[in-house]
Amino acid sequence: MATTMRASSLDFSRRSLWTQLGALPWGLILLICAMAMIGVAILHSATFTNPEEAGLPIRHATRFGVALGVLLVAGLVPLKWWFWAAWPSYLATLVLLVAVEFFGFTGGGAQRWVQIGPVGVQPSEFMKVTLTLALAAYYHKRWNDFSGGFVIHLPALALIALPAALIFRQPDFGTTLALFASGGMMIFLAGLWWRVIMAIGVAAVASIPAIYFFVLQDYQRERVDTYVAQLTGQSVNVMDDGYQIEQAKIAIGSGGWTGKGYMEGTQSQLDYIPEQHTDFILTVLAEEFGFLVTSGVLILWMVILGLGLAIALRAASLFARFAAAGAVATVAFYILFNVAMVLGLVPVVGVPLPLLSYGGTVMITTAGCFGLICAAHLGRNEPLNTGA
């Protein structure tokens, strides 16, 4: 009898798992898979002439396989578990960021990693997800106290500012901006007054000179100087600071409407563009496939983000809404800032293009964000009563 009950329970668990898997937003997941495969194809062209980078497309595909597993597992995690994990995960990541300050090791010219056993971990990437969880949990618990005032948002600003300050010191300006962008979007969605937003904007603009002279490091000031010079039409040493952007503009412009053809790009095949397999992968796509296909890929990203935002809006609980919306904002920042950077509209900062650029950390972060969105989809009808 007991054996029969255990077998019946196990069978139910299996059916439940398959039911949950089937209930995931597979349209969204398949579009994400399609975007990753586009990334593999573009990486193959971007690295074809460089023997040292010949294996990157295969590694990219392998990493996406791992990331897809992370996405599915994260999507199957019940919303209550995400809620319970919000504060512990945020605090744990904050501790890791402090550990980077004292015990971290340098890679790529910045001290962003900390060793945990045999694995080097970049806590700043985890913070993009754990901050979203913490802000979602905070507003979920405090929503009944909300009266339209600014005071309720002060703890949320502190939740953003504390890790952002630690990450900026590494230095990692791109991730710092990402935290303020995604966190700021969540605060905006929580109902921050327009006059407060305008006041913050004015204060931010007024603080630019102080940030430039007293906060930015020398190489960051050089990037800003190059950006301003190019924006105002001043002469720039194209063999020095302005080289990357100038070559990117040449590649994009030479692609025209329809491009030169797959693996036929001059800039990409002759390796004129530094980091064309990571932050500047969009130049390879634009040169070889032109404006029309590049626009189509960006529209596909808009569709993916739109589906994610629709899931956020349909969620019954505040936690699910804020968590999914924050995840969408995080990925959207990557895309918008990368495209603006490649086009020369903003200074060059290390911000990759999700699923297209080569890189494991952004892949896992993206998977975590869409895992949260999938979890919000599965729990969209759960009110998530946690004493809020």
Q: In the prediction, which pLDDT does 344 show?
A: 82
Sheet holding 110-116, edge to edge: 105-107, 110-116, 119-121
Q: In the prediction, which pLDDT does 9 show?
A: 43
Provide the phi-psi class of 344: left if phi over 0, else alpha when psi is between -120 and 50, else beta: left
Per-residue DSSP letter, 145:
G
Cβ(365)–Cβ(330) below 8 Å = yes
Cβ(39)–Cβ(356) below 8 Å = yes
Rg (CA), the chain: 22
Instruction: Report pTM.
Output: 0.86
Determine, yes or no, domain membership for 225: yes
Q: In the prediction, which pLDDT does 5 show?
A: 43
Q: Into how many domains does the chain fold?
A: 1
Estimate the crossing angle of helix 123-142 against helix 79-103, to 10 degrees: 140
Euclidean distance between CA atoms 303 and 297, whole angstroms? 10
Candidates 83, 29, 85; CA nearest to 315 is 83
Per-residue pLDDT of the chain (388 residues; tens, 9 = 90+): 445 445 444 443 455 878 888 889 999 999 999 999 999 999 999 888 887 777 899 999 999 999 999 999 999 999 999 999 999 999 999 999 988 887 766 655 555 667 666 666 788 888 999 999 999 999 998 876 665 567 888 899 999 999 999 998 887 888 888 899 889 889 888 877 667 667 777 777 777 777 766 666 676 677 677 667 666 656 555 555 567 788 888 889 888 999 899 988 888 887 788 888 888 999 999 999 999 999 999 999 999 999 999 999 999 899 999 999 999 999 999 999 999 989 888 888 778 999 999 987 889 899 999 999 999 999 888 887 665 4
Q: Which two tokens stand for residue 176?
A: 């710092």
Q: What is the sign of the dihedral through the CA atoms of 247, 250, 253 and 259?
A: negative
Q: In the prediction, which pLDDT does 55 show?
A: 87
Determine, yes or no, domain membership for 13: no
CA atoms within 13 A on the CB side of 236: 23
Q: In the prediction, which pLDDT does 190 show?
A: 82
Euclidean distance between CA atoms 43 and 63, whole angstroms? 13
Determine, yes or no, domain membership for 166: yes
Task: Name residue, tokens 């990157």.
Answer: 56
Determine, yes or no, domain membership for 23: no
Structural domain including 288 reads: 35-378
Q: Which two tokens stand for residue 379?
A: 């729990």
Residue 299's SS3 state is helix
Determine, yes or no, domain membership for 71: yes
Determine, yes or no, domain membership for 249: yes
